[in-house]
Amino acid sequence: MRLRSIGISAAFLASASHAGARDKDQKGPDVEPEPSFDGAPLEVTRQTQEYGIAVSSIRSRNASTDPWSDGLDVMLTSGLSPRVPWLRVSGFRGVVFRAFDSKSYSFTPYYQGLEGGLGVGVIELAASIGLSPLSIDVAHTRWSVGFLQPRTSALVGLRFRNFHLRGVIYSEYYWRWFGRDSALVQGVGIQLIVGSPNH
Contacts of range 162-165, beta carbons closer than 8 Å, 24 or more positions apart: 162/48, 162/50, 162/194, 162/195, 162/196, 162/197, 163/193, 163/194, 163/195, 164/50, 164/52, 164/124, 164/191, 164/192, 164/193, 164/194, 164/195, 165/190, 165/191, 165/192, 165/193
CATH code where residue 54 lies: 2.40.160.20
142 has which bridge partners?
Answer: 139
Split into its structural domains, the chain has a count of: 1
Residue span of the structural domain in which 124 resides = 44-197
Query: Phi, psi (5° rounding) for residue 24?
Result: -65, -40
Beta bridge partners of 140: none
| pLDDT tier at 141, thresholds 50, 70, 90 | confident
Q: What is the mean pLDDT of residues 72-79?
A: 96
- What CA–CA distance (Å, rounded) separates 199 from 189? 32
Interatomic CA distance for residues 135 and 106, integer angstroms: 7
- What is the identity of the amino acid at 5? S
pLDDT tens profile 150-191: 999 999 999 888 899 999 999 999 999 998 888 999 999 999
User: Which residue type occupies 47?
Assistant: Q
Report the predicted TM-score, pTM, of the whole model to 2 decimal places. 0.72
DSSP 9-59: HHHHHHHHHHHHHHHHHHH-S--PPPP--TT-TT-GGGEEEEEEEEEEEEE
The amino acid present at 43, given as its one-letter code, is: E
**Type of residue at 183:** A
Cα–Cα distance for residue pair 44/139, rounded to 1 Å: 43
For residue 126, count CB atoms less than 10 angstroms from its CB and return exposed for 0-12, middle for 13-18, buried for 19 or more.
buried
pLDDT tens digits, 81-102: 887 778 888 999 999 999 988 8
Given a cut of 90, whether residue 32 has pLDDT beyond it is: no
The answer to whether residue 38 sits within a structural domain is no
Q: How far is CA 66 from CA 61, 69, 100, 105, 146, in A?
A: 6, 9, 14, 18, 20
Is there a domain that residue 32 lies in? no
Q: How many CB atoms lie within 10 A of CB 58?
A: 20
